[in-house]
Every structure is written in structure tokens, then in C-alpha cells.
């Protein structure tokens, strides 16, 4: 496994891999990342992982400084996962002095995470476009857990004619349903114990959808009610939206995206389920 820190090193190494899958990450890797790595390796023949805690996607009062980092552990994990190359640039390699360009993706970046975290998706889109240009992957792999991020990246990739295929893989969950996330590391044991309520609430809404409920506000109400029964969980938003446009729905047709963000203590978690026609979530092998 090659560990590369500069853009020049990546460009020099790129020719060795005719097909290359890229898994962009911010490190502190878990089984969800590993599932993306395995799929990329199987589908592309070779896989590169970027590890970069991207400062421009964090707001001024967010967790950039305390975001969990453990590069030696991540590298051991990736080596065992059969990764061909890892790109771990410094902030100044990605954002040299004078850097001034931002990619604004438009309407799909505005609601939900975009409304709660102003500027977040401009930071994500800009760094992902740079990673695509640097690594030049044939395919790039993202997790459905970050549903809006996937929509934003697909939109950007189409709009800018970037020559990469975007693959979205199912959310990987703990045995009790909690979606895997690097931020789960922030949860204290009592907080970790209540966190599965997020997926329970979304699953209840999905069950009601499958039983025939089509009124989007009724589905949002179910999610809110289930969460309200668990003390210490503060809802940021609950949404039932069109999975492509992310516009809130009055009535769900054949498909919808039920998503939420909530705080447990200081930790902000997001999760979602697709209503109708969805690939099932995956349980982590280790739990
Ligand atoms: O999902 C993430 O980890 C990040 O948003 C990404 C895509 C690596 C961009 O920094």
C-alpha cells in the first residue's frame, strides 16, 4: 500500500491503475468505510482512499479541532483491507496560500444539512472536486448515511461533467441499528445507549409507509414522537423529502427520503432511510 502526501506523488502513481475506485474520507475509519473499500476494490480492480479532515466543511462553532483522528490505526485498517494507495495531504497541500475558489451546488445543498450548517456543502463540493481532479478515479464511493452529500456530489459531478461514476453504498449499522459514524466516538456510554432511537424512529416511519401511510407530515410526526420518548435527544430537523430534489413532500408517492439530525449531548448525529424501493441497510460484521 502506497501512502502519498502530495499531489505530485498521486499524479506520478496514478498511471499504475487503469481502473481506480476512490473512497474519500476524513479518517477515523470504521466498517462503513471498509464496505466502500471492498466494493471499490471488487468493482475497479484497485482502490485509493483519501484521508483529509477538510476544514472548509466545518462551521466556526463545529467540531473541527476535536474531530477524531488516528492515522496509524487508519493505515493499518486500510492495509488489511487491501487498499492500493492512501492520500493523506496536509491542509496547505489542498488549500495553498491564495486559494479562493468555492463550488456552490445550488438548491439541493440548501435544505436540511445545508440549512443547519451554512457553507458545509460548498466545502464538501470543493474538496471532493479537487480530490477527483487530483486522483482521477474511474468511480468514487460514498455512503447512503450522508444522503444529502450523495445528492450534492451527484449534482456537481453531472453539472461539471466530471469523468467519474458516483456509487452510493448502503448504510452500515451496529447490531442495535445505530448508523456507523466517526462521530459515534464522541458518545458517552449513556448517550450511546439512547442513540439507536434515531434508527428506531426512522424504521417506525418506514413500517407505517409500508403499511400504506402516504401523508408526509404523519410520517414526520411518527419520527418526532418516537424520539420524544427518549430523554436527552434534541431534534434538529425531521424531513420526508423527494430523494432527488430534497424538497419536502406533502404526500409520498413511490419513493421518499426520511432523514433527521439530532443532538445527543454535544454530539450531532444524522441518519436516514429510503421509503420505497430501497436497498436494505447492512449490519456491521463485527457487532
Ligand atoms: O463524508 C465525508 O467524510 C466527507 O464529507 C468527505 C466526502 C470525505 C469530504 O470531505
Task: Tell me if 126 CB under 6 Å of ligand 1.
Answer: no
Measured in degrees and rounded to the nearest 5, phi and psi for residue 38 equal -65, -40
Q: In this structure, how many other beta carbons lie within 10 angstroms of the beta carbon of residue 99?
A: 12
- Euclidean distance between CA atoms 59 and 10, whole angstroms: 29
Regarding the domain delimited by 182-283, which CATH topology (the fold level of the hierarchy) does it fall under? Answer: 3.30.1300
> Closest Cα to residue 227, out of 193, 199, 254?
199
| Catalytic annotation, pick one of 33, 117, 139, 208 | 33
- Euclidean distance between CA atoms 79 and 174, whole angstroms: 23
Residues facing 272 on adjacent strands: 259
DSSP-derived secondary structure letter, 158: H
* Atom 7 of ligand 1, residue of closest alpha carbon: 24
Task: Tell me if 181 CB under 6 Å of ligand 1.
Answer: no
Question: Known catalytic residue: 33?
Answer: yes
Maximum pairwise Cα distance, the chain: 56
Domain ranges of the chain: 2-169, 182-283
Task: For the full predicted model, state whether its pTM sits above 0.85.
Answer: yes
Q: Does domain 2-169 have CATH number 2.170.190.11?
A: no
Question: In tens digits, what is the pLDDT along the chain, a chain of 287 residues?
Answer: 999 999 999 999 999 999 999 999 999 999 999 999 999 999 999 999 999 999 999 999 999 999 999 999 999 999 999 999 999 999 999 999 999 999 999 999 999 999 999 999 999 999 999 999 999 999 999 999 999 999 999 999 999 999 999 999 999 999 999 999 999 999 999 999 999 999 999 999 999 999 999 999 999 999 999 999 999 999 999 999 999 999 999 999 999 999 999 999 999 999 999 999 765 667 764 43
Atom of ligand 1 nearest to the CA of 53: 10
Best residue for ligand 1 mutational test, from 57, 87, 154, 270 (most atoms within 8 Å of Cβ) = 57
Q: How far is the CA of 86 from the centre of ligand 1 (A)?
A: 15
Q: How far is the CA of 210 from the centre of ligand 1 (A)?
A: 32
Amino acid at each position: 500500500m502506497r501512502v502519498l502526501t502530495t499531489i505530485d506523488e498521486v499524479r506520478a502513481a496514478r498511471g499504475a491503475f487503469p481502473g481506480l475506485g476512490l473512497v474519500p474520507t476524513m479518517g477515523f475509519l470504521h466498517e462503513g468505510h471498509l464496505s466502500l473499500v471492498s466494493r471499490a476494490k471488487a468493482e475497479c480492480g484497485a482502490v485509493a482512499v483519501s484521508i483529509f479532515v477538510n476544514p472548509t466543511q466545518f462551521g466556526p462553532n463545529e467540531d473541527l479541532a476535536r474531530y477524531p483522528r488516528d492515522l496509524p490505526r487508519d493505515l493499518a485498517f486500510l492495509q488489511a483491507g487491501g487498499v492500493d494507495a492512501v492520500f493523506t495531504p496536509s491542509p496547505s497541500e489542498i488549500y495553498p496560500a491564495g486559494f479562493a475558489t468555492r463550488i456552490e451546488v445550488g438548491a439541493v445543498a440548501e435544505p436540511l444539512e445545508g440549512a443547519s450548517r451554512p457553507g458545509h456543502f460548498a466545502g464538501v463540493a470543493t474538496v471532493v472536486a479537487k480530490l477527483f481532479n487530483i486522483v482521477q478515479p474511474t468511480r468514487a464511493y460514498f455512503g447512503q448515511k450522508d444522503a444529502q452529500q450523495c445528492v450534492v456530489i451527484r449534482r456537481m459531478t453531472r453539472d461539471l461533467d466530471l469523468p467519474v461514476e458516483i456509487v452510493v453504498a448502503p448504510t452500515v449499522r451496529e447490531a442495535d441499528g445505530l448508523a456507523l459514524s466517526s462521530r459515534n466516538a464522541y458518545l458517552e456510554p449513556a448517550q450511546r445507549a439512547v442513540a439507536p432511537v434515531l434508527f428506531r424512529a426512522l424504521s417506525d416511519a418506514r413500517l407505517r409507509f409500508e403499511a400504506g401511510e402516504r401523508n408526509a407530515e404523519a410520517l414526520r410526526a411518527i419520527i418526532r414522537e418516537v424520539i420524544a420518548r427518549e430523554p436527552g435527544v434534541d431534534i434538529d430537523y425531521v424531513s420526508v423529502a423527494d430523494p432527488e430534489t430534497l424538497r419536502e413532500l406533502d404526500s409520498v408517492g413511490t419513493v421518499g427520503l426520511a432523514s433527521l439530525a439530532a443532538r445527543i449531548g454535544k454530539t450531532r448525529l444524522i441518519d436516514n432511510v429510503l421509503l420505497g424501493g430501497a436497498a436494505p441497510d447492512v449490519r456491521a460484521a463485527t457487532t
